[in-house]
Structure 1
Amino acid sequence: MKKEINSVLYQRFLDALADGKEAYFDADEVDELMSELEEASNFTYYEDILELGLKLHPDNLDLQVRKCHILVWNQTYDQALELIDSLSETDHEELDMLRMECYAYLKRYDDLFGYLDLLIEKKVDYLERIFESISPMLGNWDKRAFSYMEIGLELFPDNQFINEDFCYNLENKGQDTERAIKICNKLIDLDPYEYDYWFMLGRLYSVSLQYEKAIEAFDFALACNPSSSPEVRLLKGYCLYMNENYEKAIEVYSELLKEGEVNERIFPFLGDCYIKIEKYEDAYVMLKKIIGKKSYDDDPSVFINMIRCCLETDRKNEAEILLKKANKLFPDNTQILSLQAFQYMKNGEDELAVNTTGKVLDLLNDRIGLDKESSQTLYDTAQTLYLNGEAEKALKYYLQILKAEPNMPYLHLNIALAYLFLGDMEQFHKHYKSTSEEEIISFLNQQKYDVTFNRIKLSEYAFSKKIPSDQLILEYLNNKNNYN
């Protein structure tokens, strides 16, 4: 904020200006007056006073350096460099910093790093401050910039500013997160109460999927600065969600709602948390606030969650309307197509259901691998197909999931049951043996069977639909080696 200047020197300048005259100042007085202007952040006559000083003392180096500063502030970097070259001062800290700043902003990186090599070779006593000053200027660091900052860290390993800039750039580039975490912890050792460091550490841990540590770091950030931006708590809520601590995530998001600053951004997250704990009515209330807004028409997850809420809360008509809109907006989204296939099956439109699930499979085949979300979508579709007697089609889905998520719960068991349904005993045995007794008991519990452990009971589930080969199944069940 600009402040009033109560100064004899400044008043002398104003008086002369009012009289249409030029006041006289010696070089030290000009320098003192300009320092007063800088301290007061009052630059109304700053350049006028400097020009007067240079007119009175054209060879004064300090005033010439101030002129270089003004040229850089005004982004006239070529003029600044021309003046710096004309001064021909060697080992002058301010001029060297200004020179390198000009090189950086002009993207003359060969000149920048060449000059830095010269200063390193000369071992100037202000080299550490040079590294401090250039690191924020490099913007989108390339490999060469990183290599020079490596030199800076090697020369000055405990310099807080160099470590800080290097860590921020590692984070922004998404490179070597583990190293960034180590540097960030080092910065916290240097300044344990710095909010920005704890916030950065939380971000780094969240990127590396270490959610427990991220939550702890965010808590420390909030302890250092309780009135910090909502972003810290938003990220904390996200990490709690990813750590499956949905109730705590709901607490964090609900607190943010009270502040009013980020309401709309919270609704989809909060709705998702309620879905995870099966509070579908609460989720419906949250998602209803945003479902019709254009800003969310490019987010399929909002539609998927809302459709699910409608189905779980007996809002069938609303679910169908949303499903039609979602299909138009996202015609190739596998989850929405799976929901559509499920709806077709419920309505008895078998041909449409089969065609839609086929499209899901084609889309997933076109992708390079499956992510977790797609694997779950494919699994749900396979389950629906199997329960509708389409074991062969379900098996194709299960086997595709197996490539991406071999440890998915009940996957081998479902594959075994599909093979049993189709009468392929060799493949049934193979996948059946990959299933633990604990998993089978859990599976039977989910199906609400008596769980007195007996593998024969699985046949009741496997053949609750049409059995393709009665004789083969009876032969299998009558063989005492096929059950415990």
Structure 2
Amino acid sequence: MMKKNISQLLEKFKTGLAEGKDPYFDSEEIEDLLNGISDEEAKEYLIPILDLGLRLYPFNQSLLIKRIEKECINENYETALSYAEELKHVDDPDLHVARLECFCMLEEYHKAVTYLDNLEAEKNEYLEEVYESFINILADHEFYTVGITFAKKAIKLFPENNDIQLALLYIYFDYEKNKEVIKLATKLTDKMPYSYDVWYMLGASYARIEEFNKAIEALDFALTCKDCLESKMLKGFCLAGIKNYKEALEINLEVNKEKPTSLVQQAIVQCYSYLGQNEKTKILSRFLIEVYKGNCPRSILGCYLNTFMVTSQEEEMIDALKTLASTGSQHKMHLFLQMMVSSLMDLEDSSDYSEEILKLKIEFGGNMNLFQDMLFKKGFFHFAAGEVRSALQYLEELEEENSAYYLLHPLLTLCYLETGNKDRFLNQLSLLPKDRLTVLSKINHIHFNPVHDKIMPRSKDLSSILIKNINNYN
């Protein structure tokens, strides 16, 4: 029926509803209304229209089946099955699907298997249609494992049915089974070369496993099928993944022009940063920091702070850190300070920066986690600079604050080894896990560029000394 006629019927129904009367419709008009109203209108009027239809035509088979579907929508599955039992001799695909949905939602999967087997044994003419609808319902309910099982069985029965294979592809994609998506989608691109969804899921799955070049190729095909912002954004992400920031920026700017969102603007900031466009990075990241307030993503904060780092604006960066902390971003201070230490600190001026860091304990309300992190970093950098006794001052203070701090005991073990303090060395060694020699190598995974290359050989050497002399100490 034409939309105009549906609108007229709906207006007639609304008028009767407002007057408290049941307007008259023939059964076909009721069915047209139920099938033709928009999703938005259905939320309000679908059930009242169905109830009216059942009052007017209580034995209408189509309306009785829709009553069962209504109970499924309301999650009254046992009631739905009781209504379905009243129609047990009716052969209708919608009725079959409703029963199967009830079985699965009640976790009676064996009944669903038996029901489908019976339809197959009877060579039911609707079996293929039932499988199509049922598998899509399972996907909607996120019954992925069950959906895969039924879909595979359906494909064996109907190997040429692309819709069932597409339904299985959706399940694989939502379930993040990327290898399975890639295998099936590659097969379906030959059968459905103009399907946007197939190409998009193929590209997105390649992106998930970071095969960005293959992802870009698939997304280009998707975009020839349909011009979609979702694919453009993902392509921009993949281009950034292969470090093609120039093209990534162009795509993200195009997407932002059509539909500006904080997510795409976040991608733009990162592209600006990698391309060295510091002023644009600073302006847009400042804007996003204000938008996100205290929940700004780390990548944005990192790009913002990097604009100070690359221009050696240490004092400006410290001011920016303090400003961010005072405006609700205090929970990000660990990141900020770690970046400041790792990117600005040379061994020669480590003490100056470490003192600045420690002052923040007082300035920002005594954040103990932050304070402990900074004690460890200060001790670590003194250790790396060869100032082991100075390092111990901070590490021992940290031990008093939190003796379970990650990597504290391995570093203390190395410090006491170098100072020759046998008793404390053996004590620290006893606090390490059973694989105590292996755990010392974790020190090598603390990266503080640009001093990383200077620090790592030192801890490697000390670990080697420990391994060689462990028996002597014992």
Shift of 1:379: 5.8
Change over 3 Å in CA distance of 1:380–1:181 after alignment to 2: same
Out of 171, 174, 178, the residue aligned to residue 172 of structure 1 is 174
Contact 1:241-1:249 within 8 A present in 2 as well: yes
Change over 3 Å in CA distance of 1:382–1:346 after alignment to 2: closer
Return 5+ residue gaps in structure 2 as ranges. Answer: 38-44, 355-376, 384-394, 396-404, 411-431, 433-437, 466-474
Out of 48, 53, 60, the residue aligned to residue 57 of structure 2 is 53
Shift of 1:211: 0.8
SS for the counterpart of 1:146 is helix
Change over 3 Å in CA distance of 1:308–1:109 after alignment to 2: same
Query: What is the number of residues matched between the two proteins?
Result: 374
2:469 match:
none
The 1-side partners of 2:198 and 2:67 are apart by 36
Contact 1:72-1:80 within 8 A present in 2 as well: yes
1:147 match:
149
Contact 1:5-1:40 within 8 A present in 2 as well: yes
The 1-side partners of 2:31 and 2:160 are apart by 32
Q: Deviations over 1:384-415 (max 9, x none)?
A: 548xxxx5248679x9xxxxxxxxxxxxxxxx
Q: What is the one-letter code of the residue matched to 1:362?
A: L
Change over 3 Å in CA distance of 1:350–1:63 after alignment to 2: closer
Q: Deviations over 1:277-306 (max 9, x none)?
A: 333333333322223454564533333332
Return 5+ residue gaps in structure 1 as ranges. Answer: 400-418, 420-484
The 2-side partners of 1:266 and 1:392 are apart by 43
Shift of 1:208: 2.2
The 2-side partners of 1:233 and 1:20 are apart by 52
Out of 386, 395, 407, the residue aligned to residue 362 of structure 1 is 407
2:371 match:
none
Q: What is the one-letter code of the residue matched to 1:189?
A: D
The 1-side partners of 2:3 and 2:35 are apart by 9
1:25-40 equivalent positions in 2, closer than 5 A: 30-38=26-34, 40=36
The 2-side partners of 1:83 and 1:348 are apart by 80
1:60-459 equivalent positions in 2, closer than 5 A: 61-62=61-62, 64-73=64-73, 75-89=75-89, 91-138=91-138, 139-141=141-143, 143-175=145-177, 177-226=178-227, 228=228, 230-262=229-261, 264-295=262-293, 297=295, 299-323=297-321, 329-330=331-332, 333=335, 336-337=337-338, 339-340=340-341, 343-345=344-346, 348-350=349-351, 352=354, 354-357=378-381, 362=407, 377-378=447-448, 380-383=450-453, 385=455, 392-393=458-459
Contact 2:219-2:231 within 8 A present in 1 as well: yes
Shift of 1:112: 2.7
SS for the counterpart of 2:407 is helix
Contact 1:246-1:276 within 8 A present in 2 as well: yes
The 2-side partners of 1:118 and 1:269 are apart by 54
Contact 1:78-1:102 within 8 A present in 2 as well: yes
Moved more, 273-282 or 40-49: 40-49
Shift of 1:240: 0.1
Change over 3 Å in CA distance of 1:342–1:249 after alignment to 2: closer
Change over 3 Å in CA distance of 1:148–1:319 after alignment to 2: same
SS for the counterpart of 2:86 is helix
The 1-side partners of 2:313 and 2:4 are apart by 64
Shift of 1:245: 0.8
Question: How does the TM-score come out when normalised to structure 2?
Answer: 0.65
Shift of 1:151: 1.0
Q: What is the one-letter code of the residue matched to 1:131?
A: Y
Larger Rg: 1
Shift of 1:205: 1.3
The 2-side partners of 1:133 and 1:213 are apart by 32
The 1-side partners of 2:124 and 2:293 are apart by 55
The 2-side partners of 1:314 and 1:169 are apart by 51
The 2-side partners of 1:243 and 1:164 are apart by 30
Identity, in percent, stands at: 24
Shift of 1:117: 3.6
Shift of 1:206: 0.6
Shift of 1:39: 5.3
Change over 3 Å in CA distance of 1:205–1:376 after alignment to 2: farther
Q: What is the one-letter code of the residue matched to 2:102?
A: C
The 2-side partners of 1:90 and 1:45 are apart by 23
| Higher relative contact order (Cα pairs below 8 Å, separated by 6+ residues) | 2
Moved more, 110-119 or 349-358: 349-358
Question: How does the TM-score come out when normalised to structure 1?
Answer: 0.64
The 2-side partners of 1:208 and 1:195 are apart by 20
The structure with the largest helix share of the pair is 2
Contact 2:288-2:296 within 8 A present in 1 as well: no
Moved more, 320-329 or 138-147: 320-329
